[in-house]
Chains A and B, each alone.
Chain A
Amino acid sequence: MAQAAPVIQPDLELSYEVPEQVTLLTDAWRRLRRNRLALLGGAIIAVLFMVALISIVWTPYPVWLQAVGPTYQPPSLHHLLGLDQAGRDILSRIMGGALITVEVGIGSAVILSLIGIPLGLLAGFYRGRVDTVISFFINIWYGIPDLLVALILVFVLSDALHLIPRGVFVIIVAFSLTRWMDVARLVRGQSLALREREFVEAARMAGGRDLALIFRHIFPNALGPIIVQATFAIPAAVLFEAFLSFLGLGLPPPTPSWGAMASDGYHGMDFAPHIVLAPTIALSITLMAFNWLGDGLRDAFDPRMRR
């Protein structure tokens, strides 16, 4: 009995078929272009990246500077999104938060792919005992409340063992260590299927070594689904960071994390709702954009979904 798939992606294993090698990208792009929601998502993400880049060199006020005006000041012409409980400019902090979001999202997608892809390739390619061991771990990992383990990992790695200073990186590591299974399982399925294909068979006959087979033939052909899966990991990671920071267990102050900003503001909702609204809306839009793009990519890479 197979373990049920994670919420983010219920039926990945079923929905993928290995696409034609040559036409893969062009074909996908053609279909993606027709998906308006995905394009909108992509546009929002482009804006997010631009804002993040701009925030490195310029924000209206420094993100850390307090008392630029009265505390809790509502939005005005001078401060488009108003000021927070410490008198900091919220627009500046939303911009700074975009950078944090991009770092956490992309960083996590990369690191968890680095963990999941090799494990999946090994399990799928070698099958047998290797597969049994890796699949066992995948199933055990699915059985734990991942976010909560990640939360404890952040705490232990940075506060207790002082291995990684508390910051974006430790959050990426903790998240990746508890969420690599989706990618691993996907890649395993792909390589299980691909290793039987004629072109792999041919390469093996020609005397190709295992590593070469894996990386020259199997991995490139599984790339599409991997990208889709990694795209879905980004909003999950962003949400994890927001979740941690909202609980006060995330990034240290004055880091302008959206989760932390929401947490700062939500007690003051009665008379200063702008403090909590700005970061929560920014966060929701970002998550939406990544999910839309992810959906679009999945449809684009999956010929069965052709409309």
Chain B
Amino acid sequence: MRGTLLYIGQRLILIAITTVLVSSIVFLLLHQIPGNAFLNETRTTPQALAADLRHYGLDLPLQQQYVNWVTAVVHGNLGESLVNRGVQITPLLVRETSVSATVGFFALFVTIGLGMLLGVFAALRQNTWVDYVASSAAVVGYSIPAFVIAIFMLLIFGHYFFVWTQGTVYYNVGWGDWTQVPVPAIALGLPYASYVARLTRASMLETIRTDYVRTAWAKGLKARIVVLRHALRNALIPVVTILGPLVTGIITGSVVIENIFGIPGLGKEFVTSILARDYNIVIGVFTFYAALVGLANLTVDVIYPALDPRIRY
């Protein structure tokens, strides 16, 4: 137990360092850009520009800006939006993270739930039509990008079935209405679900063919259930190993999905800010993403030994 805590502590420190490191790179890259966010085609004068630069501390030497930025980040302050003056970035991103997380968790649920369900069924009914349908769905599904699935779903639910859905799957206003979550979450989770299905099927097949399962199978229903539970637990292990990249994938995918469905989350903010050249927010979102990916990987590594007793730190 102590060992685990120590391990978690070490990892948290590493995550903090990686986060600052990665966002530092983004910070330095973005500050190489000539010009700045304030010029526009109205009557900007040199004085007006200087006043803006001073306000954001952009008139300081780069080293000084960097030191100020790191100091602020360590204190949890990501600064002020360049486009929406006076808007503090940290609370904004915290709010948007909760939105993205809602969709993300649902997507993860879809991925793992649907994926494992398909995988298990395909394995149990190997070489029957169930297997073929599930396997073909998987082999097609994992090649279709999330944004294409999103477009198809929009076309179906937002247009052809509009009378039925009344567009609730589409508009995001006053986000928090549960009916708005499933469609984007499915679009986001589906490509990875087919992936999980393939994995589950393979490992289930392997387990099912072991002698003890065959014996139990032969003995009747109750034992069958017991063993299935074992088999399932074994099948879960490879799924957990890919959870880390899965979360990264869902985070990346959410950038497109949130843009398509107009979900006011981190991904939407990321793209909007890049297009509006609100560099402070871009760096901020990036810092959040780096931390999220790190934390997701850590969570996986902590869950892993609970499932697979062979692994110890």
Residues of chain A having any CB pair with chain B under 8 Å: 1, 3-7, 10-11, 37, 140, 142-149, 151-153, 155-156, 159-161, 235, 239, 242-243, 246-249, 262, 266, 269-270, 273, 276, 280, 283-284, 287-288, 290-292, 295
Contact = CB atoms under 8 A, between A and B. Distances in A.
B173 interface: no
Contact of A247 (B22, B158, B244, B259): B259
A262 B151 contact: yes
Given A145-B252, A152-B274, 12 more contacts: A37-B139, A143-B290, A145-B251, A146-B252, A152-B26, A156-B29, A156-B30, A160-B30, A160-B33, A247-B271, A249-B275, A291-B142
B154 interface: yes
Contact of B252 (A148, A159, A249, A292): A148
Contacts of B154: 266, 269
Contacts of B270: 148
A288 B293 contact: no
Nearest to A140: B18
B145 A239 contact: yes
B163 to A, nearest CB: 14
B297 A161 contact: no
Contacts of B297: 3-4, 143
The 8 lowest CB-CB distance pairs between A and B, nearest first, are A288-B143, A160-B33, A4-B244, A287-B143, A280-B148, A147-B252, A7-B245, A156-B29
B151 A280 contact: yes
A281 to B, nearest CB: 8
Interface stretch (B44-52, B61-69, B235-243): B235-243
A290 B252 CA distance: 21
Q: Please classify the interface of chain B as helix (H, G, I), strand (E, B), loop, or mixed, using the class held by over half of its residues.
A: helix
A284 B159 contact: no
A287 to B, nearest CB: 4
B301 interface: yes
A217 to B, nearest CB: 32
A145 B248 contact: yes
A295 B286 CA distance: 33
A109 B282 CA distance: 29
23 contacts: A1-B311, A3-B297, A4-B243, A5-B242, A7-B242, A7-B248, A7-B249, A140-B21, A143-B293, A143-B297, A145-B293, A146-B252, A148-B255, A148-B289, A152-B282, A160-B30, A161-B33, A243-B255, A247-B259, A269-B155, A269-B159, A280-B148, A280-B151
Given A4-B297, A140-B18, A148-B289, A284 B143 contact: yes
A287 B145 contact: yes
A287 B238 contact: no
B139 A145 contact: no
Given A143-B293, A243-B145, A156 B33 contact: yes
Interface string B13-56: 00100100110001001101110000000000000000000000
A184 to B, nearest CB: 16
Interface in B267-313: 270-271, 274-275, 282, 286, 289-290, 293-294, 297, 300-301, 304, 311, 313
Nearest to A281: B148
Contacts of B18: 140, 143-144
A20 to B, nearest CB: 25
A160 B36 CA distance: 11
A273 B255 CA distance: 23
Interface centre among B26, B195, B243, B304, by most chain A C-beta atoms within 10 angstroms, is B26
Contacts of B143: 235, 284, 287-288, 290-291
Contacts of A37: 139
A276 B148 CA distance: 9
A7 B252 contact: no
Contact of B300 (A4, A11, A148): A4
A146 B29 contact: no
B1 interface: no
Contact of A4 (B15, B241, B274): B241
A182 to B, nearest CB: 10
Nearest to B312: A1
B221 interface: no
A158 to B, nearest CB: 11
B140 interface: yes
Contacts of B139: 37, 288, 291-292, 295
A100 B144 CA distance: 19
Nearest to B283: A152
Contacts of B123: none
B242 A1 contact: no
A140 to B, nearest CB: 6
B93 interface: no
B145 A156 contact: no
Contacts of A266: 151, 154, 260
A284 B144 contact: yes
B238 A10 contact: yes
Contacts of A142: 245
